[in-house]
Amino acid sequence: MIRNYLKIALRNLFKQKVYSSFNLVGLALGLSCGLLLTLHIKEELSYEKDFPKHDRIFRMVTTEWSKSQPPLAGELKNYFPEIKSAGRFSGRGSQITNYGPDKQAETTGFFADSSVVEIFDLKPIHGNAFKALKEPSSVVITKSMAEKFFGKQDPIGKKLTFDNKEELWVRAVVDDLPINSHLKFDYLASMPTFYKNVPENWTSNRGWMFGWTYILLKDPNDAPKIEKRLKDFYVKFYQPNNADEKKQVAEFAATARLQPLTDIHLKSNLIQEMGPNSSILYVYIFIAVEILILIIACVNFINLFTTQALRRAKEVGMRKALGAKKAQVITQFLGEAFILTTIAGVLAIGLYRLVIPFYNEMAGKELSGWEILQPANLSIMVTMILFVGLLSGVFPALFIAKFDPIASLKSDKLPKSSATLLRKSLIVLQFVVSGFLISSTILIYQQMKLFKNKELGFDKEQVVAIKLYGGFKEKVLKNAAVFKNELTRNPNVIAVGQSSNLIGDDLSVESVTPLNPPANKEFPSFKVSRIDEDYLTVLNIPLKEGRNFSRQFNDSASFIINEKAAKALELKNPVGSVIVNNTMGLQGKVVGVVKDYNFASLHSQVEPLVLEYKPAWSGNMLVKIAAGNVPQTIDFLKTTVEKVAPNTIFSYTFLDERMASLYKKEDTMSQILNAFSGLAIIISCLGLFGVVAHESKLRTKEIGIRKVLGASVPNLVVLLSSSFLKLVIIGIVIATPIAWYAMNQWLQDFEYRIELRWWVFAIAGLFTIGVALLTVSFQSIKAALMDPVKSLKTE
């Protein structure tokens, strides 16, 4: 019997090629989209789970800060017996690393405690990493870094030079970390190396947020118990001397918490994170898009499969008349649905492998074309096929099995039932989803356009940021004026400045107050950046009052602040006022006030900013260049840098590209949504085309009679199209308020956001209607142009 069902299914598949093709293409597109998004979501949710103890690892954070104080790790371990181990990382940033005269590369690393080896189960390849991180001037490198610098040589005992001045010896090699982790480094330098380079009082400072503290619990269920006792811990940690200090400690303790390691990638966006994280919101969005795409594909299948029932009504009637039971009819048609879905699944895997390179480039992922063949992913695919096949096949099978055998044998028309209403409802649902996705895509595009085009208060165009490091940095800072003059001799170089940070970087957060502030008056923390006298000129940042820094004045203890800082410090006449940087122990006058400019991303509003004159702290040289001969100018800059510091790496970026990278998450989501919105409308139109073709065939004689009686082609096109276009319009009307609500909620995450205007939804609706009209009109015109004589002869 099963063999017979299979033969009938394949026979009908080839007999009704058009409908079968629409079904297969629609399902294959839907399943391939679902597969791509499933693996994307799976990868996002897998972060940190390759660490064997991931469920027991937590990071100490507050509601604002990802970093914590130097003594915190040791104090936590001593106070809480539930903590098995505690370890710290402190950033070293990216540095130029040399091995001998020939091997040179830019690397990224951290200072780290030896305990991180146990916490994160760093897998040893050579040497003893735990022992190495206890020794001064020692470094643990990853397998990839070892291969890059040493090839097949034994790296143990070899000397690496960082930024042409710091010499560290390789004592161990560990395996590369998982890609799906927020921890990303090429090497770890020992914490004793850090200690010997900073004053002793810094390492015991309980107010300096110097690095990231991780703890390993004996039992993950102990985390809530520890959090309940954090207030008592911080009282012991800070040892307040009076009621006011106790109150401050209690307020701080209320913000502290243990953050699960697995929450960092998707649920953490704190001050000075190790690197940019993603957001759980976008995972939810991708899940929603996947569900919507699969719904469209299923609806498409149900409509087309039900439509095919007309041609087989007599077959069903004959089977029932010959004694076939309802269950047998259901089994047959459900089986056909699964056969179609399975074939579509195979096509979907082919489509997946075809588009995966483009998807990886668009989404910034590293999914493999062969990844689908992993048992876990194959099971996902099989589950999707079974789910879609069952969801798509149950209703048509039940509907067909209900056919009355006598009525089926007498008529070529579908029974008048709720099926017609359901099919219309499903068409509406398809275009609700399509309208929603298209409206959302347009609004996300507009928000991304705002990011790119908003006036930020400075000029980011044609600014090259050159990284200063090692010997190159020393020579530049020693003779900055000479180097700048050398660069500006080129007519394409307009201005040159220096800064400790780039626009968009996490700036230092420090305590700044007026001189002799009022008692018990609390001031917010201030973002602080160190610059030279040409920084404002390069970025064209306007002064509201006062003057710029200048070498003609003794500005070593001078400040420039923005308008928000002047307001936060309550300075009525800011220029000439004395302020104090309590963090650095520096007191000086405000010499100028700049207009507020967006020195961070547009996710947040402009914060109070203090600019300090300290060229010696520069980490970047900013070069304003003329438009036009950009490649030649870059070559000139590279040649000049190499002349100053031979055998150096010319590391640079364009400031506008650096700013664009701040919105990588949103840009990725926008591109993915663009692609899947297009697929959604294609799948919807495939279904609509099939249903219109079916309706046109049913009304072939009616069309012929109307033409004989004088009906024109336009009249017939309107007759055939209007009922379907009404369904599309209903779908758009329903989709509009849903899209408005969803996008309004998404936009709340941005301090600077577009307004939701009615015409955006009108454009989305008109576009959807236009595409649907083209789909419907093609088949309607074809039917209307038929010879009425042939139409009337059609059986």
CA atoms within 13 A on the CB side of 347: 16
pLDDT computed for residue 329 by the predictor: 75
CA distances from 594 to 22, 205, 526, 580, 613 (A): 62, 33, 15, 19, 14
Type of residue at 78: N
Is residue 311 pLDDT above 70, yes or no?
A: no
Phi, psi of 447 (to 5 degrees): -65, -40
Tokens matching residue 185: 């480094």
How does residue 296 score in pLDDT terms, banded at 50, 70 and 90?
A: confident
* Amino acid identity for residue 305 in this structure: F
Per mean pLDDT, which range of 212-221, 248-257, 489-498, 673-682 is the poorest? 673-682
pLDDT the model gives residue 108: 94
Between residues 540 and 318, the one the model is more confident about: 540
State the pLDDT at residue 408.
58
* Among 218, 205, 277, 301, CA closest to 48: 277
Nearest residue to 640 (alpha-carbon basis) of 461, 469, 476: 476
What's residue 779's pLDDT?
67
Percent of the chain with pLDDT over 70: 90
> Does residue 419 surpass a pLDDT of 70?
no
Q: Token digits for 249?
A: 């400690």
Dihedral sign from CA coordinates of 224, 229, 233, 238: positive
DSSP one-letter code for 517: P
| pLDDT score, position 117 | 96
**Model confidence at 432: pLDDT above 70:** yes
| Residue 360 or 790, more confident | 360
- CA gyration radius for the chain? 34
C-alpha 678: how far from chain center: 20
pLDDT at 543: 95
pLDDT in tens, 141-161: 999 999 999 998 999 999 999
Residues 366-390 have pLDDT tens digits of 777 777 778 888 888 888 888 877 8
Question: For residue 139, which phi and psi values (nearest 5 degrees)?
Answer: -140, 140
CA angle 668-671-673, nearest 5°? 105
Cβ count near 481 (within 10 Å): 9
Pairing of strands 578-581, 586-594: antiparallel
Question: Can you tell me whether residue 611 is helix, strand or coil?
Answer: strand
pLDDT in tens, 564-615: 999 999 998 999 999 999 888 899 999 999 999 999 888 888 999 999 999 9
User: Is pLDDT of 443 > 70?
Assistant: yes
Q: Are 463 and 538 in contact (CB under 8 A)?
A: yes
C-beta of residue 56 within 8 angstroms of C-beta of residue 217: yes
Q: Decide: pTM greater than 0.75.
A: yes
**Position 785 confidence tier, pLDDT thresholds 50, 70, 90:** low
> Mapped to the 3 state alphabet, what secondary structure does 619-649 carry?
CEEEEEECCCCHHHHHHHHHHHHHHHCCCCC
SS3 state at 534: coil
Of 587, 602, 434, 467, the residue nearest 30 (C-alpha): 434
Task: Please state which of the ranges 463-477, 483-497, 565-579 shows the lowest mean pLDDT.
Answer: 463-477
What is the DSSP secondary structure assignment for residue 122, as one 8-state letter?
P
Written as one string, the DSSP assignment of 494-515 is EEEEEESS-TTS--EEE-EEES
Q: Nearest to residue 439, comparing CAs of 739, 742, 758? A: 739
- pLDDT tens readout for residues 710-745: 777 677 777 777 877 888 899 999 999 999 999 998
Q: How far apart are CA 503 and CA 401, in angstroms?
A: 67
**Mean pLDDT of all residues belonging to the chain:** 86
Lowest mean pLDDT among 105-119, 177-191, 397-411, 752-766: 397-411
- Tell me the C-alpha distance between 763 and 761, whole Å: 5
Number of continuous H segments (helices) and E segments (strands) in the chain: 29, 22
Of 327, 286, 248, 302, which is closest to residue 687 (Cα–Cα)? 302
CA distance 59 to 181: 14
* Beta-ladder partners of 58: 215, 260
Q: How confident is the model at residue 299 (pLDDT cuts 50, 70, 90)?
A: confident
Per-residue model confidence (pLDDT) at position 94: 87
Residue 791 clears pLDDT 80, i.e. is over it: no
**Which residues are registered as beta bridge partners of 579?**
514, 588
What is the distance between the alpha carbons of residues 66 and 274, in angstroms, rounded to a whole number?
Answer: 8
Q: What is d(CA 683, CA 679) in angstroms, rounded to the nearest whole number?
A: 6
Question: Is residue 415's pLDDT more than 70?
Answer: no
**DSSP line for 167-214:** EEEEEEEEPPPPSSSS---SEEEEHHHHHTTS-HHHHT-SS---BEEE
Kindly give the pairing relationship between strand 493-499 and strand 508-510: unpaired
User: What is the rounded CA–CA span in Å between residue 393 and residue 335?
Assistant: 8
